[in-house]
C-alpha cells in the first residue's frame, strides 16, 4: 500500500491527550533496548550453537548460489564437507546483495553464520579490521596455500599479511561472446580482433538488421562493458594505473579519453529494449542468434552450455577484444568469529574442504569459472575457460576487477559515473574522465 | 488516580512500541549520520562530514531532482484526474458504484504490480510503442521522460483514492446549494469551480497531503519499473539510502540521507498542519 491514511489524516489520534505516568519508564526502556540491540534482530537458527550435542560438525553457510547450475556447484562443496564428518546447513539467499545484507546483519546481531560468501577485495576490510572475521591461519594448519594462488588474489584477501578469506574460484569478467551465425550472415568471415574490424563488423550486423551488441542496461553490466573496453585500450599497466594506483594523470590522459569515446560509440549498437534487461536475457539474444556480441563474465558460459551451443562452431569467446588480457575476480568464503569451540572446529573443517584442490576443481567445473588454486586441474573445464586459464593465471596477462581494489561505496560511485555517461550522449568524454577521477580522488 | 493508571496500562504497549520502533530508531539513525560507519554501524564521530559528502554526491542531487519532478507530476496528475472523476460521478452518473469500483480498483494493486504493468505497457519493443507505431511512447529509455513515466504509473494507482475522498466530500454538501445554483442558471462547470469545490477544500488538502507523503517515500514503484535507470534518471532518495545501507557499505552516508528524508517529511507535516489550521478544520 502506498499511502498510510492513519498517519496523515488523523495525527491527533496518535498523540496522547496528556502526559502519562508510564511515559518516562517507556523512554528509558526504549533507549536501553536501542542501545543494547545495536542492530537488526538476529534470526534463523544458530546451527553452530546447536551442534554442541551433535556428533557431526554442523555449519551454516550464507551464499547466493541459487540458480539450478549454481546449486549443483555449491553442492559439490557441501557433499565433500558432509563426507568428512560435517553437517552442511545451506543458508542460501537469492541475490548477492541480499545475502551480504543478511550475513552482516547476523554478525552484528551476534548470531554469525559459520561461513559467508563475499567477492575478494575491500568489501571484507571493515569486518576484518573490527576483528569480526577469523584469520584463515587460525583455522587451518596449511601454510603453503596462499602461494598457490595468483599473488594479486592473495593480496586482495589479506589484511596485514594475514589471509582473511578462502578464495574459491577465479572469474573472468571481460569475455567477448560472438554469435558466429550473425557474423556470417553479415558477411563477417572471422571474429574481429582490433577496433577497426570491430566497428566494421558491428556496422555490417546493424545494416543486416540484427542487434550488434546485446546489453543489459543495468549499472553493473554497463560497468562490465566499460571495463572490458578500458582493459583493451589501456592494456595491463594502464588499467592498473586507473583501478589499482588510482593515478589521476592516467585517468585524465588521452588513452583513458579514447576508451571513454569508444564506450560512448557503442551506444548506437544497442537496441531500445536494453534498459533494465537482465544479463541472462542479454545472453539469450546471442544464443538465439538475434545479437552479434555479448560482453560478460564467464557465468554466461553456463547459458551457452545449457542451450547446447558448441564453442567455435555456434559461438566464439575471446578474452577481451584482443584476446590477450583477462580481468579477474574471485568468490571467497569468510569465517566470522565463532563463539563456541564446536563452531570453530566446524569452521576448521570447512576451510580445509574449501582449500582442497579437488573440491575447488569440482566446484569450478560445475559453476563455470576456474578454481582459485593454481595447482587444481583445469583439463576438463569448458574449452573457453581452458583457453582463458592461460591468461588468467599469468601475472603479466591478468588484471584485477575493480571489486578487488575499490571499497563498495567507491565502486558504486564509479558505476554511477559510467551509467550516467552511458545514458547521456551529451556528456563529453572529458567530463566523464574528470568525474571518474574525482570519485577516486575523494574516496578514502 | 486508579483510572489514570488503568488508562496508562492500556496505552503502554503501543507507547513503548512507538518509542522503541519509531522514535528510538530515528534517534539512532540521526546519531549514526554523524559517524564514519561503513559496513557496520560502529564508527568515529565525524561531525557533519557525511552531510558534506552527501550533497557533493551527484547521485544524491540527481535523486532529489528526480523526486521533485516525480512529486510535482504525480501530485498534480493524481489530483486533476481524481477530481475530474469525482465530479463526473457526482453528476448522478448511471452505474455510479460500478464506475467507482473500476476507478478505485488500481489503488488495491500494490505499487510493485503497478510498476510492472506500466513497464510492460511502456516497453519500447512490445508495448504501446509497437502497437501504435513510433508514437513517442518510448519514455522509459529516455532519461528526460522516464521519471514522468513513473509518475504516470503512480497517478494511475492513486487517482482513485483522490476520487473517493473528493466524491465523499461532494456528497456531503447540502443539495439545496446545487438546486439554488441550477435555479439561478449558473453553468455546471461554474457551480463546481466557484461553489462546490471550495466547500470541499478540507478534503482536497487531505488528499494533497496523502499524495505528497506517498511521493516522498516512493520506492517500490521505481524498483519494479526502472530500478533507477536509464543512468540515474529515476533514482530516488529512498533508493539511495537502501543502496548505501546494504550494497555500498556506507551506513554513515545512508543515515545522513535518511535524516534528510526525515527532515523533508517533518517539513511536509508542518505545512499540512498549518494548512489545516488555515482551512479551519
Residue B69's pLDDT band, with cuts at 50, 70 and 90, is: very high
A-chain CB neighbours of B24 within 8 Å are 30-31, 33-34
Query: Cβ of A419 under 8 Å from any chain B Cβ?
Result: yes
Q: In this complex, which of A2, A407, A424 lies closest to B111 when CB atoms are compared?
A: A2
Q: Are A333 and A354 in contact (CB under 8 A)?
A: yes
Query: Mapping DSSP to helix (H, G, I), strand (E, B) and coil, where does residue A35 land?
Result: helix
Query: Cβ of B248 under 8 Å from any chain A Cβ?
Result: yes
Domain spans, chain B: 51-279
Nearest to A381 by CA among A391, A368, A390: A368
Express each pLDDT in A288-329 by its tens digit: 999 999 999 999 998 898 899 999 999 999 999 999 999 999
Pairwise CB contact (< 8 Å): A126 & B20: no
How close B126 gets to chain A, by Cα (Å)?
9
Output DSSP code: residue A269: G
Pairwise CB contact (< 8 Å): A16 & B253: no
Instruction: Report the share of chain B in percent with pLDDT over 90.
Output: 40
Q: In angstroms, rounded to a whole number, what is the distance separating the alpha carbons of residues B261 and B63? A: 11
Lowest mean pLDDT among B66-80, B121-135, B245-259: B121-135
Q: In angstroms, rounded to a whole number, what is the distance separating the alpha carbons of residues A81 and A314? A: 38
Query: Mapping DSSP to helix (H, G, I), strand (E, B) and coil, where does residue A176 land?
Result: strand
Q: In this complex, which of B161, B206, B253 lies closest to A409 when CB atoms are compared?
A: B253
- At A29 the pLDDT is 41
Q: Are A61 and A350 in contact (CB under 8 A)?
A: yes
Lowest mean pLDDT among A10-24, A220-234, A365-379: A10-24
- At A35 the pLDDT is 37
Express each pLDDT in B91-130 by its tens digit: 877 788 888 888 888 888 888 999 999 988 888 777 777 7
A-chain CB neighbours of B247 within 8 Å are 97, 100-101, 408, 412
A-chain CB neighbours of B59 within 8 Å are 413, 416
Residue A7 has pLDDT above 90, yes or no: no
B-chain CB neighbours of A20 within 8 Å are 4, 7-8, 11, 15
Between positions 207 and 226 of B, the ones with CB within 8 A of A are: 209-211, 213-214, 218, 221, 226
- At A331 the pLDDT is 94
Residue A170's pLDDT band, with cuts at 50, 70 and 90, is: very high
- At A8 the pLDDT is 32
Nearest to A424 by CA among B242, B67, B229: B229
Q: Are A1 and B158 in contact (CB under 8 A)?
A: no
How close B269 gets to chain A, by Cα (Å)?
8
Average pLDDT score over residue span A258-275? 94
- Mean pLDDT of all residues belonging to chain A: 86
Which DSSP string corresponds to A302-361? HHHHHTTPPBTTTEEEEETTTT--EEEE-EEEE-BPPSSHHHHHHHHHHHHHHH-HHHHH
Average pLDDT score over residue span A132-148? 89
Q: In this complex, which of A23, A31, A419 lies closest to B231 when CB atoms are compared?
A: A419
Express each pLDDT in A44-93 by its tens digit: 334 444 444 445 789 999 999 988 778 889 999 999 999 999 999 999 99
Q: In angstroms, rounded to a whole number, what is the distance separating the alpha carbons of residues A203 and A213? A: 11
Q: In this complex, which of A132, A273, A442 lies closest to B125 when CB atoms are compared?
A: A273
Between positions 126 and 145 of B, the ones with CB within 8 A of A are: 138, 140-141, 143
Residue A28 has pLDDT above 80, yes or no: no
Query: Mapping DSSP to helix (H, G, I), strand (E, B) and coil, where does residue A395 land?
Result: coil
Long-range CB pairs of B44-49 (<8 Å, 24+ gap) are B46/B252
Q: For B2, which residue in chain A has the nearest alpha carbon? A: A21
- At B91 the pLDDT is 82
**What are B47's three cell numbers?**
561531525
Q: In this complex, which of B28, B42, B57 lies closest to A130 when CB atoms are compared?
A: B42
Which of the residues A6, A30, A103, A424 would you substitute to probe the B interface, choosing the one with the greatest number of B C-beta atoms within 10 Å? A30
**What Cα–Cα distance (Å) separates residue B20 from each residue in A25, A150, A226?**
12, 50, 46
Q: For B235, which residue in chain A has the nearest alpha carbon? A: A416
Residue A40 has pLDDT above 90, yes or no: no
**What are A229's three cell numbers?**
573496453
B-chain CB neighbours of A108 within 8 Å are 40-41
How close B134 gets to chain A, by Cα (Å)?
12
Most confident of A101-110, A161-170, B194-203: A161-170
Residue A4 has pLDDT above 70, yes or no: no
Query: What phi and psi values does residue A170 have, to the nearest 5 degrees?
Result: -120, 125
| Paired strand residues for A133 | A336
Cis peptide before B230 (omega within 30 of 0): yes
Nearest to A267 by CA among B143, B168, B111, B109: B143
Nearest to A165 by CA among A109, A122, A130: A122
- Mean pLDDT of all residues belonging to chain B: 88
How much is the pTM?
0.83
**What are B191's three cell numbers?**
457551480
Pairwise CB contact (< 8 Å): A9 & B206: yes
Residue B187 has pLDDT above 90, yes or no: no
Residue A43 has pLDDT above 80, yes or no: no
Q: For A30, which residue in chain B has the nearest alpha carbon? A: B20
How close A125 gets to chain B, by Cα (Å)?
9
Pairwise CB contact (< 8 Å): A20 & B8: yes
Per the document, the length of chain A is 444
Q: For B205, which residue in chain A has the nearest alpha carbon? A: A9
Query: Cβ of A38 under 8 Å from any chain B Cβ?
Result: yes
Mention every residue, 6+ apart, whose C-beta is less than 8 A from residue A104.
Answer: A127, B39, B40
Q: Are A182 and A292 in contact (CB under 8 A)?
A: yes
Indicate the class that CATH gives domain B51-279: mainly alpha
Query: Cβ of B259 under 8 Å from any chain A Cβ?
Result: no
Express each pLDDT in A319-364 by its tens digit: 999 999 999 999 999 999 998 899 999 999 999 999 999 999 999 9
Q: In this complex, which of B16, B39, B56 lies closest to A26 when CB atoms are compared?
A: B16
Pairwise CB contact (< 8 Å): B11 & A20: yes
Query: Cβ of A184 under 8 Å from any chain B Cβ?
Result: no
Q: In angstroms, rounded to a whole number, what is the distance separating the alpha carbons of residues A335 and A135? A: 8
- At A173 the pLDDT is 95
Q: In this complex, which of B19, B38, B154 lies closest to A30 when CB atoms are compared?
A: B19
Between positions 241 and 270 of A, the ones with CB within 8 A of B are: none
Output DSSP code: residue A217: B
Query: Cβ of A416 under 8 Å from any chain B Cβ?
Result: yes
Average pLDDT score over residue span A191-196? 96
Amino acid at each position: 500500500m502506498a499511502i498510510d491514511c492513519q498517519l496523515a489524516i488523523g495525527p491527533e489520534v496518535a498523540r496522547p491527550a496528556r502526559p502519562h505516568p508510564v511515559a518516562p519508564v517507556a523512554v528509558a526502556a526504549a533507549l536501553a533496548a536501542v542501545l543494547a540491540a545495536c542492530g537488526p534482530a538476529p534470526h534463523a537458527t544458530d546451527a553452530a550453537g546447536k551442534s554442541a550435542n551433535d556428533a557431526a560438525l554442523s555449519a551454516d553457510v550464507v551464499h547466493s548460489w541459487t540458480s539450478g547450475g549454481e546449486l549443483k556447484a555449491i553442492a559439490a562443496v557441501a557433499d565433500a564437507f558432509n563426507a568428512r564428518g560435517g553437517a552442511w546447513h545451506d543458508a542460501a539467499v537469492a541475490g548477492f546483495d541480499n545475502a551480504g545484507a543478511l550475513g552482516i546483519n547476523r554478525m552484528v546481531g551476534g548470531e554469525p553464520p559459520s561461513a559467508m560468501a563475499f567477492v575478494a577485495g575491500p568489501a571484507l576490510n571493515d569486518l576484518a579490521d573490527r576483528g569480526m572475521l577469523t584469520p584463515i591461519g587460525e583455522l587451518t594448519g596449511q601454510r603453503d596455500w596462499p602461494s598457490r594462488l595468483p599473488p594479486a588474489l592473495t593480496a586482495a584477501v589479506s589484511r596485514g599479511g594475514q589471509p582473511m578469506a578462502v578464495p574459491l574460484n577465479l572469474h573472468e569478467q571481460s569475455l567477448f561472446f560472438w554469435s558466429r551465425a550473425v557474423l556470417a550472415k553479415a558477411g563477417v568471415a572471422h571474429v574481429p580482433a582490433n577496433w577497426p574490424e570491430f566497428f566494421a563488423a558491428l556496422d555490417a550486423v546493424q545494416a543486416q538488421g540484427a542487434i550488434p551488441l546485446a546489453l543489459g542496461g543495468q549499472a553493473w553490466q554497463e560497468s562490465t562493458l566499460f571495463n572490458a573496453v578500458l582493459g583493451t585500450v589501456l592494456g595491463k599497466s594502464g588499467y592498473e594505473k586507473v583501478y589499482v594506483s588510482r593515478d589521476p594523470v592516467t585517468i585524465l590522459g588521452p588513452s583513458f579519453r579514447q576508451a571513454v569515446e569508444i564506450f560512448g560509440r557503442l551506444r548506437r549498437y544497442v537496441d531500445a529494449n536494453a534498459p533494465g534487461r537482465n544479463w541472462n536475457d542479454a545472453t539469450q539474444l546471442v544464443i538465439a542468434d538475434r545479437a552479434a556480441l555479448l560482453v560478460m563474465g564467464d557465468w554466461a558460459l553456463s547459458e551457452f552450455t545449457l542451450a547446447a551451443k558448441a564453442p567455435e562452431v555456434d559461438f566464439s569467446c575471446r578474452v577481451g577484444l584482443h584476446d590477450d588480457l583477462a580481468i579477474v575476480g574471485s568468490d571467497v568464503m569468510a569465517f566470522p568469529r565463532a563463539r563456541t569451540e564446536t563452531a570453530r572446529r566446524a569452521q576448521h573443517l570447512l576451510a580445509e574442504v574449501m582449500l582442497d584442490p579437488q573440491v575447488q576443481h569440482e566446484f569450478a567445473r560445475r559453476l563455470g569459472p576456474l578454481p582459485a588454486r593454481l595447482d587444481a586441474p583445469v583439463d576438463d573445464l569448458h574449452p573457453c575457460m581452458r583457453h582463458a586459464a592461460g591468461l588468467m593465471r599469468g601475472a603479466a596477462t591478468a588484471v584485477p576487477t575493480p571489486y578487488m581494489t575499490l571499497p563498495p561505496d567507491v565502486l558504486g560511485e564509479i558505476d554511477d559515473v559510467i551509467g550516467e555517461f552511458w545514458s547521456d550522449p551529451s556528456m563529453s568524454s572529458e567530463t566523464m574522465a574528470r568525474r571518474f577521477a574525482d570519485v577516486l580522488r575523494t574516496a578514502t | 488516580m486508579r483510572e489514570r493508571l488503568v488508562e496508562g496500562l492500556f496505552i503502554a504497549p503501543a507507547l513503548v512500541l512507538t518509542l522503541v520502533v519509531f522514535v528510538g530508531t530515528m534517534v539512532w539513525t540521526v546519531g549514526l549520520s554523524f559517524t564514519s560507519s561503513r559496513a557496520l554501524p560502529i564508527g568515529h564521530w565525524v561531525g557533519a562530514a557525511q552531510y558534506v559528502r552527501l550533497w557533493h554526491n551527484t547521485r544524491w542531487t540527481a535523486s532529489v531532482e528526480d523526486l521533485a519532478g516525480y512529486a510535482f507530476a504525480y501530485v498534480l496528475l493524481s489530483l486533476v484526474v481524481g477530481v475530474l472523476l469525482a465530479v463526473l460521478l457526482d453528476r448522478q452518473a448511471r452505474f455510479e458504484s460500478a464506475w467507482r469500483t473500476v476507478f478505485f480498483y488500481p489503488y488495491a494493486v500494490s505499487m510493485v504490480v503497478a510498476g510492472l504493468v506500466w513497464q510492460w505497457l511502456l516497453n519500447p519493443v512490445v508495448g504501446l510503442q509497437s502497437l501504435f507505431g513510433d508514437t513517442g511512447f518510448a519514455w522509459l529509455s529516455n532519461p528526460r521522460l522516464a521519471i514522468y513515466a513513473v509518475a504516470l504509473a503512480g497517478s494511475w494507482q492513486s487517482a482513485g483514492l483522490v476520487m473517493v475522498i473528493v466524491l465523499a466530500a461532494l456528497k456531503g454538501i447540502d443539495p439545496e446549494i446545487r438546486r439554488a445554483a441550477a435555479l439561478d442558471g449558473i453553468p455546471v462547470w461554474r457551480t463546481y469551480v466557484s461553489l462546490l469545490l471550495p466547500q470541499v477544500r478540507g478534503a482536497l488538502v487531505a488528499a494533497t497531503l496523502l499524495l505528497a507523503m506517498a511521493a516522498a517515500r516512493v520506492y517500490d514503484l521505481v524498483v519494479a519499473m526502472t530500478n533507477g535507470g536509464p543512468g540515474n534518471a529515476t533514482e530516488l532518495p529512498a533508493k539511495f539510502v537502501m543502496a548505501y545501507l546494504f550494497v555500498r557499505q556506507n551506513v554513515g552516508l545512508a543515515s545522513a540521507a535518511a535524516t534528510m528524508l526525515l527532515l523533508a517529511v517533518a517539513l511536509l507535516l508542518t505545512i499540512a498542519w498549518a494548512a489545516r489550521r488555515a482551512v479551519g478544520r
